[in-house]
Structure formats: structure tokens, C-alpha cells
Structure 1
Amino acid sequence: MSIFDDRESAFESKFAHDAEMQFKAEARCNKLLALWAAKKLGKPEDAVAAYVAEVIKSDFEEAGHEDVVRKVAGDLGDASSADEVRLKRAEFLAQVKAELVAEN
């Protein structure tokens, strides 16, 4: 194997690792956002897991995170705004990324 092949392999591995970490961060962030929203909505404990699953599922509607923001903000109605949901999501994403870095 040449040096170029080694570098190509290293870049491919790094890209795959970064993509996996981003996916994990987004999934954990969506879960934390759903738990936060469920608490604001006063959902009973037995309904929280189903709500978390709904929010995570909503992330697959379109690229990006606006589908999740739209879902959660719509569910919260007057209890919150889309801007507050985006802010909480950004806080959770920063927290989750720090946790993932600490884990690795």
C-alpha cells in the first residue's frame, strides 16, 4: 500500500467516525428535547417513552432538525415557542457533544 492509499483509508475512517458521532449526538439531543417537552406537557410517566419515540421518528421526515422543532413546538402550543425549542435543542446538542467527547 502506498502512502496515498494509507491517507485515503485514514480520511475515510475519520469521515465514517465523524458521521457516526453526529448521528449519535442528534439522536441523544432529540431524546433530551423530547424528555424536556414531555415534562412541560405534564405527560404521565407511562406516556413519556412513547412521546420520545414520536419525536425521534419525526426527525426522519426531512433533512435537518426543523422537523423536530416543528413537532415539539406544535405539541407544546402556547406553553413554548419555536425559538425556545430551538434554544433548548442547541443547549442539549452542546451538552451531548461534550458527553460524547468525554466518552471517547
Structure 2
Amino acid sequence: MNTTFDDRERGYESKFAHDESLRFKADARRNRLVGEWAAGLLGKQGDDARAYALSIVTSDFEEPGHEDVFRKLSADLDGKATEAEIRAKMAELMTVARHQIIGEAD
């Protein structure tokens, strides 16, 4: 027998799973966007730029959080962007990525 509580619990579980999926997609999108930005600073174009952006996406799987991505960008962009510039670009592109993902979900 299903109760209102059971239905509500299933609804919350579904919403949580959906929110986590959107967060994962937004993180991956931000990483690709910041990878494309960094590729431009490094003078990469075409397939090289796409491959570099993908390397930024995969660098996020090393540990929870975004510091693994920041460390890779910081090392790769040494002398081309400051720590503050990299962090600001990551924050800016997270907002862009979220808006893109939400727009695609509608």
C-alpha cells in the first residue's frame, strides 16, 4: 500500500537524481568551455583545441571538487593566466554552462 509519504519520498529521490544529473552535465560543460578558453590562450586550434578541452573534462575525474581542473589549468597556463583569472573564468563559465544545460532541458 502506497502512502502519501512514500509518493513524496519517491518524488524527492527523483528530483535529487535529476538535480545531480544536471549538476554533472553543467560541470562537464563548464570544463569543456574553460578548456576551449585555455586552448585559445595556448594557441591551439581545431582538433588540437578539441582534444585539449576534452583533457580538461577528464581531469575533473581525478578527485571530488574542482581543484583538479584548476591545478591542470594553472600548470598548463603558467605565465599565460593568473590564478585569479583562471578561477574567475571557471566561475563565469559555470554560470554559462548552467544556463545552457537548463535551456536544453526545457
Q: Which residue of structure 2 lines up, in the alignment, with residue 11 of structure 1?
A: 12
Q: Which residue of structure 1 lines up, in the alignment, with residue 44 of structure 2?
A: 43
Q: In 2, are the aligned partners of 1:70 and 1:82 still within 8 Å (CA)?
A: no
Among the aligned pairs, what percent are the same residue?
46
- State TM-score, norm by structure 2: 0.92
Query: What letter corresponds to residue 82 of structure 1 in structure 2?
Result: E
Q: Which residue of structure 2 lines up, in the alignment, with residue 81 of structure 1?
A: 82
Q: Which residue of structure 1 lines up, in the alignment, with residue 35 of structure 2?
A: 34
Aligned length: 104
Cα displacement (A) at 1:46: 2.5
Q: Which moved more, 1:22-31 or 1:53-62?
A: 53-62
Cα displacement (A) at 1:3: 0.3
Q: In 2, are the aligned partners of 1:61 and 1:67 still within 8 Å (CA)?
A: yes
SS at match of 1:7: helix
CA RMSD of aligned residues (A): 1.0
Cα displacement (A) at 1:11: 0.3
> Which sections of structure 2, spanning at least 5 residues, go unmatched?
none
Cα displacement (A) at 1:98: 1.7
- State TM-score, norm by structure 1: 0.94
SS at match of 1:60: coil
Work out the CA distance in 2 between the residues paired with 1:72 and 1:12.
35
Query: What letter corresponds to residue 62 of structure 1 in structure 2?
Result: E
